[in-house]
Structure 1
Amino acid sequence: MAYEIPVTQARAELAELINRVVYGGERVVVTRHGKPLVALVSAADLERLEKDEVAEQGQVVSSVSSIGSTASAPGERHRFGIAAEHRGHCGPDA
């Protein structure tokens, strides 16, 4: 759970908040009118979060790529009752 602090108080206590984040391992959420505005996290936390984000994006791309390369099973059109077949552009006089 992160420590929440209003932006006006955070301005006055910035040095102390930095110490809490860096040396105490805390995460601080700065709020305005009770709503989260920004978060203070250590550089190590940020690096880990960014690595996790890149890894997640890679997993999504890999999953989507494997779905797109799946070939249709033989007889699938008949099994699902698909009667029409796309054969390119057909104009009114085709």
Structure 2
Amino acid sequence: MAYEIPVTQARAELADLINRVVYGNERVVVTRHGKPLVALVSAADLERLEAQQETAEDLAGSVVSEIHPLSSAPGEQGRFGIAARHRPQGT
């Protein structure tokens, strides 16, 4: 669970909030009118989040690359004015 604080109060307590994040291993959510605005996380948390994002993107890319292309219905390329064709790698 993250500690929530209004932006007006966060301005006055920024140094303390940074210490809570770095040394207390807390996550701080800064709010405006009760709605989350930004989050303060440690650099280690950020690295983990970015690594997870890269892993998810790599997984999505590998799944997409495994999808086999479908051929167009006869005449569809001409109907839509498509002049180029995709050639699989190695051809």
Show structure 1 runs of 5+ residues with no match. 72-84
Match for 1:13: what amino acid? E
Residue of structure 2 equivalent to 1:86:
74
The size of the alignment, in residue pairs, is 77
Q: When the two structures are superposed, what TM-score results if normalisation uses the length of structure 2?
A: 0.76
* Structure (1 or 2) with the larger CA radius of gyration: 1
Q: Which amino acid aligns with 1:45?
A: D
Gaps of 5+ in 2: 80-91
**Matches of 1:26 and 1:68, distance apart in 2:** 45
Following the alignment from structure 2 to structure 1, what is the Cα–Cα distance between the partners of residues 38 and 13? Answer: 15
Question: What letter is aligned with 2:13?
Answer: E
Q: Which runs of 4+ in 1 moved over 2 A?
A: 87-90
For residues 19-34 of structure 1, what are the structure 2 equivalents within 5 Å? Answer: 19-34=19-34
> Once the two structures are aligned, what percentage of the paired residues are identical?
68
Offset of residue 68 of structure 1: 2.8
Computed over aligned residues only, the root mean square deviation of the Cα atoms, in angstroms, reads 1.9
* TM-score normalised by the chain length of structure 1: 0.74
